[in-house]
Structure 1
Amino acid sequence: MRRTGNPETAADLVHEVFLKLQSIRTPLYSDGEARAYIYRMMQNLAIDHVRTESRRSAIIDGAQILFEDAVMSPEAIAISRDQLRRIDRALGDLPPKCREAFVMTRVTNLTHKEIAERLGVSVSLIEKYQLRALRHCRDFLANDLQ
Protein backbone atom coordinates (compact mmCIF):
# COMPACT_ATOMS: atom_id res chain seq x y z
CA MET A 1 0.00 0.00 0.00
CA ARG A 2 2.86 2.35 0.85
CA ARG A 3 4.50 1.87 -2.55
CA THR A 4 1.39 1.93 -4.73
CA GLY A 5 -0.63 4.50 -2.81
CA ASN A 6 -3.81 2.61 -3.59
CA PRO A 7 -5.44 -0.11 -1.43
CA GLU A 8 -7.14 -1.79 -4.40
CA THR A 9 -3.89 -2.00 -6.35
CA ALA A 10 -2.08 -3.32 -3.29
CA ALA A 11 -4.75 -6.01 -2.87
CA ASP A 12 -4.40 -6.99 -6.55
CA LEU A 13 -0.63 -7.28 -6.16
CA VAL A 14 -1.01 -9.43 -3.02
CA HIS A 15 -3.37 -11.67 -4.97
CA GLU A 16 -0.82 -11.94 -7.78
CA VAL A 17 1.88 -12.94 -5.26
CA PHE A 18 -0.33 -15.72 -3.90
CA LEU A 19 -0.95 -16.98 -7.43
CA LYS A 20 2.79 -16.98 -8.10
CA LEU A 21 3.50 -18.79 -4.84
CA GLN A 22 1.47 -21.76 -6.09
CA SER A 23 3.96 -22.30 -8.92
CA ILE A 24 7.09 -22.20 -6.75
CA ARG A 25 8.73 -25.61 -6.53
CA THR A 26 11.82 -24.64 -4.51
CA PRO A 27 11.38 -25.40 -0.80
CA LEU A 28 11.77 -22.53 1.62
CA TYR A 29 13.46 -23.91 4.72
CA SER A 30 12.44 -21.39 7.33
CA ASP A 31 9.65 -18.96 8.11
CA GLY A 32 12.14 -16.10 7.88
CA GLU A 33 13.28 -17.21 4.44
CA ALA A 34 9.67 -17.54 3.24
CA ARG A 35 8.76 -14.13 4.67
CA ALA A 36 11.79 -12.49 3.00
CA TYR A 37 10.96 -14.18 -0.32
CA ILE A 38 7.34 -13.03 -0.24
CA TYR A 39 8.37 -9.52 0.80
CA ARG A 40 10.83 -9.33 -2.12
CA MET A 41 8.13 -10.53 -4.53
CA MET A 42 5.79 -7.82 -3.27
CA GLN A 43 8.46 -5.13 -3.58
CA ASN A 44 9.26 -6.18 -7.14
CA LEU A 45 5.61 -6.23 -8.19
CA ALA A 46 4.97 -2.83 -6.59
CA ILE A 47 8.02 -1.33 -8.31
CA ASP A 48 6.94 -2.80 -11.67
CA HIS A 49 3.44 -1.44 -11.17
CA VAL A 50 4.63 2.06 -10.28
CA ARG A 51 7.00 2.10 -13.28
CA THR A 52 4.27 0.95 -15.63
CA GLU A 53 1.80 3.51 -14.32
CA SER A 54 4.33 6.34 -14.60
CA ARG A 55 5.12 5.34 -18.20
CA ARG A 56 1.43 5.12 -18.99
CA SER A 57 0.81 8.57 -17.48
CA ALA A 58 3.71 10.07 -19.41
CA ILE A 59 2.45 8.54 -22.66
CA ILE A 60 -1.09 9.75 -22.06
CA ASP A 61 0.09 13.24 -21.15
CA GLY A 62 2.29 13.38 -24.24
CA ALA A 63 -0.50 12.10 -26.44
CA GLN A 64 -2.89 14.71 -25.10
CA ILE A 65 -0.45 17.49 -25.95
CA LEU A 66 0.26 16.09 -29.41
CA PHE A 67 -3.37 15.58 -30.32
CA GLU A 68 -5.02 18.44 -28.48
CA ASP A 69 -6.17 20.15 -31.63
CA ALA A 70 -6.45 17.07 -33.82
CA VAL A 71 -9.91 15.88 -34.67
CA MET A 72 -10.25 12.53 -36.39
CA SER A 73 -12.66 12.23 -39.23
CA PRO A 74 -15.31 9.52 -39.06
CA GLU A 75 -13.42 7.68 -41.80
CA ALA A 76 -10.14 7.78 -39.84
CA ILE A 77 -11.94 6.53 -36.72
CA ALA A 78 -13.45 3.63 -38.67
CA ILE A 79 -10.07 2.73 -40.18
CA SER A 80 -8.39 2.83 -36.76
CA ARG A 81 -11.07 0.63 -35.22
CA ASP A 82 -10.76 -1.82 -38.09
CA GLN A 83 -6.97 -1.99 -37.62
CA LEU A 84 -7.40 -2.63 -33.90
CA ARG A 85 -9.92 -5.40 -34.58
CA ARG A 86 -7.51 -7.06 -37.04
CA ILE A 87 -4.63 -6.87 -34.57
CA ASP A 88 -6.85 -8.23 -31.81
CA ARG A 89 -7.85 -11.17 -34.05
CA ALA A 90 -4.20 -11.83 -34.86
CA LEU A 91 -3.25 -11.82 -31.18
CA GLY A 92 -6.24 -14.01 -30.38
CA ASP A 93 -4.81 -16.76 -32.58
CA LEU A 94 -1.63 -16.97 -30.52
CA PRO A 95 -1.19 -19.47 -27.67
CA PRO A 96 -2.01 -17.82 -24.32
CA LYS A 97 1.56 -17.62 -22.92
CA CYS A 98 2.90 -16.35 -26.24
CA ARG A 99 0.21 -13.67 -26.39
CA GLU A 100 0.75 -12.72 -22.74
CA ALA A 101 4.53 -12.41 -23.19
CA PHE A 102 4.05 -10.27 -26.31
CA VAL A 103 1.55 -7.96 -24.62
CA MET A 104 3.75 -7.66 -21.53
CA THR A 105 6.65 -6.56 -23.71
CA ARG A 106 4.67 -4.04 -25.74
CA VAL A 107 2.39 -2.60 -23.08
CA THR A 108 4.33 -2.75 -19.83
CA ASN A 109 7.84 -2.45 -21.32
CA LEU A 110 9.16 -5.24 -19.12
CA THR A 111 12.46 -6.85 -20.06
CA HIS A 112 12.56 -10.39 -21.35
CA LYS A 113 14.14 -11.46 -18.06
CA GLU A 114 11.33 -9.87 -16.02
CA ILE A 115 8.68 -11.49 -18.22
CA ALA A 116 10.42 -14.87 -17.99
CA GLU A 117 10.41 -14.62 -14.19
CA ARG A 118 6.73 -13.68 -14.11
CA LEU A 119 5.70 -16.49 -16.45
CA GLY A 120 8.09 -19.04 -14.97
CA VAL A 121 9.87 -19.79 -18.25
CA SER A 122 13.34 -19.17 -19.70
CA VAL A 123 14.45 -15.92 -21.32
CA SER A 124 15.14 -17.90 -24.48
CA LEU A 125 11.50 -19.01 -24.61
CA ILE A 126 10.33 -15.40 -24.17
CA GLU A 127 12.50 -14.39 -27.13
CA LYS A 128 10.96 -17.21 -29.19
CA TYR A 129 7.48 -16.07 -28.12
CA GLN A 130 8.26 -12.51 -29.26
CA LEU A 131 9.52 -13.67 -32.63
CA ARG A 132 6.57 -15.99 -33.10
CA ALA A 133 4.06 -13.27 -32.20
CA LEU A 134 5.64 -10.70 -34.51
CA ARG A 135 5.79 -13.12 -37.44
CA HIS A 136 2.25 -14.28 -36.84
CA CYS A 137 0.89 -10.72 -36.70
CA ARG A 138 2.85 -9.74 -39.81
CA ASP A 139 1.58 -12.76 -41.76
CA PHE A 140 -1.97 -12.41 -40.44
CA LEU A 141 -2.19 -8.74 -41.36
CA ALA A 142 -0.61 -9.31 -44.76
CA ASN A 143 -3.09 -12.09 -45.57
CA ASP A 144 -5.99 -10.14 -44.07
CA LEU A 145 -5.43 -7.26 -46.51
CA GLN A 146 -5.50 -9.52 -49.58
Structure 2
Amino acid sequence: MTEQEVRKYLRQMRDDDSQLALKKFYDLCYDRFYRIAWYYLHADEAAQEVVLDVFFRIWQRRGSLQEIANLEDYFFITVRNAALARLEQENRQPEKTDLTADILPDADDSPEEIMIGEELFARYVKALDRLPPRCREVFIRIREDRQSYAEVAAALNISVHTVDAQLQKAVARLRAMLFPDE
Protein backbone atom coordinates (compact mmCIF):
# COMPACT_ATOMS: atom_id res chain seq x y z
CA MET A 1 0.00 0.00 0.00
CA THR A 2 1.61 3.22 -1.10
CA GLU A 3 0.46 6.62 0.03
CA GLN A 4 0.27 7.80 -3.60
CA GLU A 5 -2.10 4.98 -4.59
CA VAL A 6 -4.29 5.56 -1.54
CA ARG A 7 -4.48 9.29 -2.14
CA LYS A 8 -5.30 8.71 -5.83
CA TYR A 9 -8.24 6.44 -4.94
CA LEU A 10 -9.44 8.76 -2.18
CA ARG A 11 -9.32 11.70 -4.59
CA GLN A 12 -11.32 9.74 -7.20
CA MET A 13 -13.86 8.73 -4.54
CA ARG A 14 -14.22 12.35 -3.42
CA ASP A 15 -14.22 14.08 -6.80
CA ASP A 16 -16.16 11.55 -8.88
CA ASP A 17 -18.11 9.60 -6.22
CA SER A 18 -16.35 6.67 -7.88
CA GLN A 19 -17.37 3.30 -6.52
CA LEU A 20 -14.73 1.75 -8.78
CA ALA A 21 -12.09 3.73 -6.88
CA LEU A 22 -13.61 2.46 -3.62
CA LYS A 23 -13.35 -1.11 -4.95
CA LYS A 24 -9.69 -0.60 -5.89
CA PHE A 25 -8.99 1.00 -2.50
CA TYR A 26 -10.74 -1.96 -0.84
CA ASP A 27 -8.62 -4.46 -2.80
CA LEU A 28 -5.47 -2.56 -1.87
CA CYS A 29 -6.16 -2.22 1.86
CA TYR A 30 -8.46 -5.10 2.88
CA ASP A 31 -5.75 -7.57 3.93
CA ARG A 32 -3.97 -5.02 6.09
CA PHE A 33 -7.18 -3.81 7.73
CA TYR A 34 -8.25 -7.39 8.36
CA ARG A 35 -4.93 -8.28 10.06
CA ILE A 36 -5.28 -5.28 12.35
CA ALA A 37 -8.86 -6.15 13.31
CA TRP A 38 -8.03 -9.82 13.80
CA TYR A 39 -5.12 -8.91 16.10
CA TYR A 40 -7.61 -7.41 18.54
CA LEU A 41 -10.62 -9.66 18.00
CA HIS A 42 -9.14 -13.10 17.22
CA ALA A 43 -12.34 -13.95 15.35
CA ASP A 44 -12.65 -14.07 11.56
CA GLU A 45 -16.29 -13.02 11.25
CA ALA A 46 -15.97 -10.17 13.74
CA ALA A 47 -12.79 -8.90 12.05
CA GLN A 48 -14.49 -8.99 8.64
CA GLU A 49 -17.48 -7.06 9.98
CA VAL A 50 -15.26 -4.43 11.56
CA VAL A 51 -13.31 -3.97 8.33
CA LEU A 52 -16.50 -3.61 6.29
CA ASP A 53 -17.77 -1.01 8.77
CA VAL A 54 -14.49 0.89 8.42
CA PHE A 55 -14.74 0.90 4.63
CA PHE A 56 -18.31 2.17 4.91
CA ARG A 57 -17.16 5.00 7.19
CA ILE A 58 -14.33 5.82 4.78
CA TRP A 59 -16.88 6.10 1.96
CA GLN A 60 -19.04 8.36 4.09
CA ARG A 61 -16.06 10.59 4.98
CA ARG A 62 -14.46 10.56 1.53
CA GLY A 63 -14.77 14.35 1.24
CA SER A 64 -12.44 15.09 4.14
CA LEU A 65 -9.86 12.27 4.05
CA GLN A 66 -7.46 14.07 1.68
CA GLU A 67 -6.72 16.58 4.46
CA ILE A 68 -5.20 13.92 6.73
CA ALA A 69 -1.40 14.15 6.81
CA ASN A 70 -0.54 10.53 7.68
CA LEU A 71 -3.15 8.22 6.18
CA GLU A 72 -1.32 5.03 7.16
CA ASP A 73 -1.51 5.89 10.87
CA TYR A 74 -5.05 7.23 10.50
CA PHE A 75 -6.32 3.96 8.99
CA PHE A 76 -4.48 1.87 11.57
CA ILE A 77 -6.04 3.85 14.42
CA THR A 78 -9.48 3.79 12.77
CA VAL A 79 -9.45 -0.01 12.42
CA ARG A 80 -7.99 -0.48 15.90
CA ASN A 81 -10.62 1.74 17.49
CA ALA A 82 -13.42 -0.01 15.61
CA ALA A 83 -12.13 -3.40 16.80
CA LEU A 84 -11.81 -2.19 20.40
CA ALA A 85 -15.33 -0.75 20.24
CA ARG A 86 -16.56 -4.12 19.02
CA LEU A 87 -14.80 -5.84 21.95
CA GLU A 88 -16.33 -3.38 24.39
CA GLN A 89 -19.78 -3.98 22.90
CA GLU A 90 -19.33 -7.75 23.21
CA ASN A 91 -18.18 -7.40 26.81
CA ARG A 92 -21.42 -5.64 27.71
CA GLN A 93 -23.34 -8.74 26.63
CA PRO A 94 -23.13 -11.20 29.54
CA GLU A 95 -23.56 -14.36 27.44
CA LYS A 96 -20.42 -13.55 25.46
CA THR A 97 -18.15 -12.79 28.41
CA ASP A 98 -16.57 -16.25 28.37
CA LEU A 99 -15.84 -16.05 24.65
CA THR A 100 -14.03 -12.73 24.87
CA ALA A 101 -12.26 -13.30 28.19
CA ASP A 102 -9.25 -14.87 26.46
CA ILE A 103 -8.98 -11.98 24.01
CA LEU A 104 -8.79 -9.13 26.48
CA PRO A 105 -5.43 -8.13 27.90
CA ASP A 106 -4.54 -9.65 31.25
CA ALA A 107 -5.21 -7.50 34.28
CA ASP A 108 -1.51 -7.97 35.08
CA ASP A 109 -0.47 -6.19 31.88
CA SER A 110 0.39 -2.58 32.53
CA PRO A 111 -0.89 0.13 30.18
CA GLU A 112 2.73 0.59 29.10
CA GLU A 113 3.07 -3.09 28.13
CA ILE A 114 -0.20 -2.94 26.19
CA MET A 115 0.93 0.22 24.38
CA ILE A 116 4.31 -1.29 23.51
CA GLY A 117 2.59 -4.38 22.11
CA GLU A 118 0.27 -2.25 19.97
CA GLU A 119 3.15 -0.11 18.70
CA LEU A 120 5.17 -3.19 17.79
CA PHE A 121 2.17 -4.68 16.00
CA ALA A 122 1.64 -1.43 14.05
CA ARG A 123 5.30 -1.51 12.98
CA TYR A 124 4.92 -5.17 11.99
CA VAL A 125 1.87 -4.42 9.80
CA LYS A 126 3.69 -1.54 8.10
CA ALA A 127 6.80 -3.66 7.52
CA LEU A 128 4.71 -6.53 6.15
CA ASP A 129 3.10 -4.15 3.65
CA ARG A 130 6.56 -3.11 2.43
CA LEU A 131 7.63 -6.65 1.52
CA PRO A 132 7.61 -7.67 -2.14
CA PRO A 133 4.25 -9.32 -2.98
CA ARG A 134 5.58 -12.90 -3.31
CA CYS A 135 7.59 -12.65 -0.05
CA ARG A 136 4.57 -11.25 1.77
CA GLU A 137 2.26 -13.95 0.46
CA VAL A 138 4.65 -16.78 1.37
CA PHE A 139 5.27 -15.29 4.82
CA ILE A 140 1.56 -14.85 5.59
CA ARG A 141 0.64 -18.32 4.38
CA ILE A 142 3.35 -20.02 6.44
CA ARG A 143 3.55 -17.88 9.58
CA GLU A 144 -0.02 -16.61 9.95
CA ASP A 145 -2.13 -19.19 8.10
CA ARG A 146 0.08 -22.09 9.30
CA GLN A 147 0.28 -23.75 5.89
CA SER A 148 3.08 -26.20 5.16
CA TYR A 149 5.84 -25.44 2.68
CA ALA A 150 4.35 -28.05 0.34
CA GLU A 151 0.86 -26.50 0.54
CA VAL A 152 2.24 -23.04 -0.23
CA ALA A 153 4.36 -24.38 -3.10
CA ALA A 154 1.33 -26.12 -4.63
CA ALA A 155 -0.97 -23.11 -4.18
CA LEU A 156 1.52 -20.66 -5.70
CA ASN A 157 2.83 -23.10 -8.32
CA ILE A 158 6.44 -22.74 -7.16
CA SER A 159 9.00 -25.16 -5.74
CA VAL A 160 9.44 -25.89 -2.04
CA HIS A 161 12.97 -24.45 -2.33
CA THR A 162 11.52 -21.18 -3.68
CA VAL A 163 9.07 -21.10 -0.76
CA ASP A 164 11.97 -21.53 1.66
CA ALA A 165 14.03 -18.83 -0.06
CA GLN A 166 11.11 -16.39 -0.11
CA LEU A 167 10.37 -17.04 3.57
CA GLN A 168 14.01 -16.47 4.53
CA LYS A 169 14.05 -13.26 2.50
CA ALA A 170 10.83 -12.08 4.17
CA VAL A 171 12.10 -12.84 7.67
CA ALA A 172 15.41 -11.08 7.02
CA ARG A 173 13.69 -7.99 5.63
CA LEU A 174 11.14 -7.86 8.45
CA ARG A 175 13.90 -8.21 11.04
CA ALA A 176 15.85 -5.37 9.38
CA MET A 177 12.77 -3.11 9.27
CA LEU A 178 11.55 -3.90 12.78
CA PHE A 179 14.91 -4.02 14.54
CA PRO A 180 17.29 -1.80 12.54
CA ASP A 181 19.82 -1.52 15.39
CA GLU A 182 20.59 -5.25 15.53
If the length of structure 2 is used for normalisation, what is the TM-score? 0.40
Q: TM-score, normalised to structure 1's length?
A: 0.49
